[in-house]
Chain A
Amino acid sequence: MTTVADVVRLAKEGGDVSALVAAIPYLRFLGISADASSGELIGKMTYSDPLIGNASIPALHGGAIGALLESTAIIQALWESETTALPKIVTITVDFLRSGRPVDTFAKGVFTKQGRRIVNVGVEAWQEDRSRPIARAQVIFLVDESPGSP
């Protein structure tokens, strides 16, 4: 049986994160994908109507934007650390900067290792214009890098 660890290992070896993303049900449900072909890892949330939180504006739900930020941070953490186990989220702080319009949304994380077990990922989300972010988050994860961990 293929486990998440196998998928992560394959993704790192082959440079293709799509199988990793496809292994996580919530990312499939929200239409979140990731692409590292340009050399940097970019998360993407393809627009669909169920992502809407305010139908009268209309604007994306803060929870959907938060999920993209958190997911991009998780994938960035897996990409840059030795672990093949999914990092455990400790804290996420999301700043909402602009309302999310009903279009595709992208995100990019910046990874910092804080000692052996903690990683900190700063992640920013944007839509048409990367220089105008709609949200950013600071995410702290616990990672287990012990050999043979699930």
Chain B
Amino acid sequence: MVADFVPVASLLENVARFVPHNQALGIRFASLTDGRVTLALPYDDKLVGNPLTGVIHGGAITALLDAACGLSVYVKLGQAFQIATLDLRIDYLRPATPAKEVHGRAECFKITRSVAFVRCEAFHPLGDQGESDLVAVANGTFMLFRGRPVGARGGSP
């Protein structure tokens, strides 16, 4: 039986439509360059984790990076198998700046038969402060279910 794969490009472009949580957060596809997937998370009052400062909650960054990492695995595989996040470690270099959009950029740098290794970062685009633009860096590992295609109704994560 020929598996019915959803094209990777379609998963990228429909990052919100296929994934309810991404849609709820307003996450959208920004770019794919040299295997690196960039997603955008627009600032919104509902994302705030500290009402005193207006800084968004770390959980929103976690969702953004998890999504970007997962898509970078599909890009590396060239096909959308089911995948599952095994672990994700996020180091926060500084709080995200209130009212600014956050981008998450991920690159899958190694795949084995069962596991994918990804590194990623969250940053503010169009910054003029060089490295200080970085909000967080992260590493993730993903389990691969080869031969089990992502269903037409949606992708993981």
The answer to whether A29 and B47 touch (CB under 8 A), given A49-B20, A57-B156, A67-B57, is: yes
Question: Which residue from A28, A56, A92, A95 sits with its C-beta under 8 Å from B62?
Answer: A92
Q: For window 49-85 of chain A, which residues contact chain B by CB distance below 8 Å?
A: 49-64, 66-68, 70-71
List 25 contacting pairs A-B, 8 Å CB cutoff, sorted by A.
Answer: A4-B50, A4-B51, A24-B50, A24-B57, A25-B51, A29-B46, A29-B47, A51-B24, A52-B19, A53-B22, A54-B155, A54-B157, A55-B18, A55-B153, A56-B151, A61-B63, A63-B59, A64-B63, A68-B59, A71-B57, A86-B50, A91-B90, A92-B58, A94-B89, A96-B85
Q: How far is the CA of A89 from the CA of B23 in the complex (A)?
A: 25
Residues of A within 8 A of B156 (CB): 53-54, 57, 59
Does the CB pair B47–A26 fall under 8 Å? Answer: yes
Residues of A within 8 A of B59 (CB): 26, 30, 63-64, 66-68, 70-71
The answer to whether A94 and B88 touch (CB under 8 A), given A26-B46, A26-B49, is: yes
Does the CB pair A66–B63 fall under 8 Å? Answer: yes
The answer to whether A23 and B150 touch (CB under 8 A), given A54-B157, A89-B58, is: no
A17–chain B nearest beta-carbon distance, Å: 16
Q: For window 90-140 of chain A, which residues contact chain B by CB distance below 8 Å?
A: 90-96, 99
Does the CB pair A66–B48 fall under 8 Å? Answer: no
Q: How far is the CA of A99 from the CA of B89 in the complex (A)?
A: 18
Does the CB pair A25–B45 fall under 8 Å? Answer: yes
Residues of B near any A CB (own CB < 8 A): 18-25, 45-52, 56-60, 62-67, 84-92, 95, 150-157
Count of A interface residues, CB-CB < 8 Å: 43
The answer to whether A96 and B84 touch (CB under 8 A), given A26-B56, A55-B20, A67-B60, is: yes
Q: How far is the CA of A142 from the CA of B49 in the complex (A)?
A: 15
Q: Closest residue of chain B to A23, judged by CB?
A: B51
B24–chain A nearest beta-carbon distance, Å: 4
B85–chain A nearest beta-carbon distance, Å: 5
Does the CB pair B21–A24 fall under 8 Å? Answer: no
A3 within 8 A of B: yes
Residues of B within 8 A of A93 (CB): 87-90
Residues of B within 8 A of A61 (CB): 19-22, 63, 66-67, 157
Query: Which of A24, A30, A57, A58 has the most C-beta atoms of chain B within 10 angstroms of its own C-beta?
Result: A30
Q: How far is the CA of A57 from the CA of B152 in the complex (A)?
A: 11
Q: How far is the CA of A4 from the CA of B56 in the complex (A)?
A: 15
Residues of B within 8 A of A99 (CB): 84
Residues of A within 8 A of B20 (CB): 49-53, 55, 61
A61–chain B nearest beta-carbon distance, Å: 4
Residues of B within 8 A of A62 (CB): 62-63, 66, 85, 88, 157
Question: Which residue from B22, B62, B67, B91 sits with its C-beta under 8 Å from A67?
Answer: B62
The answer to whether A63 and B154 touch (CB under 8 A), given A24-B57, A51-B20, is: no
